[in-house]
Amino acid sequence: MALDKDFFDRQGVAVEVSGIFRAGPEIMTAFAGNALDMAYVGEAPVTTAFANNMAKVVIVAQVNTEGSALSVSKKDSEIKNLSDLKGKTVAVPGHSTVQDFLLRKGLRQQRTDLKDVNIIVVKPPEMISALRTGQIDAFIAWEPYPSKAITMDVGRNLATSHDIWEGHPCCVLVSGSEFFKTNPDKTKAVVRAHIQATDFIQKHPDEAVRIGVKYTGMDEKTIREAMKTVHYTYHLSIEGEKEYVKFLSELKYIQADDPQRFTDLLINQELLKDALNK
């Protein structure tokens, strides 16, 4: 939205799109190599990379809450809830992604042992084909892939991320720590453009759909379906991040004894407040 509506230019900051990444962990690897200044990325891989000292970053704004879904084959009527995934193969975009977190959280809610589910990594663009050909029994991904499975008549939603964890934080806007320190004005300008883009989506949903079609290459029906489950917001989810920290620690992905202190170090709340007070 910000690119299409020239919000970055209006805020006086030049933005170069560095590349398209297939999953959050790849973005964090790019930060580790100093190849990025800022990025839109899932909160879970940011948390994992930060905790493991893989990348020095800071979260400066929320992007959205919810917006993922667990898809199963439309032809498979045997799978009616998450507990029915026992003995099945389920694809996630990557380990320590938001979707990996949601799947594991959902299985725990159903008291299903994680060892009883074969969790594999498949990149989202390949998930629908894998589901259609029976290579996997289910996949969990960010939108618009679950909605595309529906409009292609391949899959159906077993559960949305709203069903698993209502209001959960999903993607965030992050900055490299060094870039944040040395370019405060540029960072703030990007955040302000992000705020404008988010407000634009809320006020002009039909135009937002058109832009979504343009940038994803998917059809309008799919984009409209997908945007029903994505809640765009720039307001930071502090409690949500603390829950991520606790859960990821339990899974041994990270080690964080004090979730509050960890969250305070990872998330900068002041920049967003400053950006909102123009």
| Interval 31-50: pLDDT, tens | 999 999 999 999 988 999 99
What are the helix and strand counts (H, E) for the chain? 14, 9
CA separation for the pair 168, 242 (Å, rounded): 11
Confidence class of residue 278 from pLDDT cuts 50, 70 and 90?
low
Question: What is the count of structural domains for the chain?
Answer: 2
Q: Among residues 102, 136, 164, which one ends one of the domains?
A: 164
Among candidates 227, 215, 213, 219, which has minimal Cα distance to 160? Answer: 227
Q: What is the pTM of this model?
A: 0.88
Residue 2 lies in a domain: no
Within-domain flag for 187:
yes
Share of the chain above pLDDT 90, in %: 80
How confident is the model at residue 24, as a pLDDT?
A: 85
Is 202 among the domain residues? Answer: yes
Q: What is the CATH number of the domain that holds 58?
A: 3.40.190.10
Inside any domain, residue 201:
yes
Same domain? 227 vs 246: yes
Q: Residue 263: CA atoms inside 13 Å, Cβ hemisphere, count?
A: 15
Domain hosting residue 75, numbered range: 68-164
Is the residue at 193 inside a domain?
Answer: yes
Residues 109 and 49 in one domain: no
Residue 1 belongs to some domain of the structure:
no
Asked whether residue 50 is domain-assigned, the answer is yes
Domain boundary among 128, 145, 164: 164
**Of 131, 164, 197, which one is at a domain's C-terminal end?**
164
Q: How far apart are CA 133 and CA 233, in angstroms?
A: 36
For residues 181 and 271, membership in a common domain is answered with yes
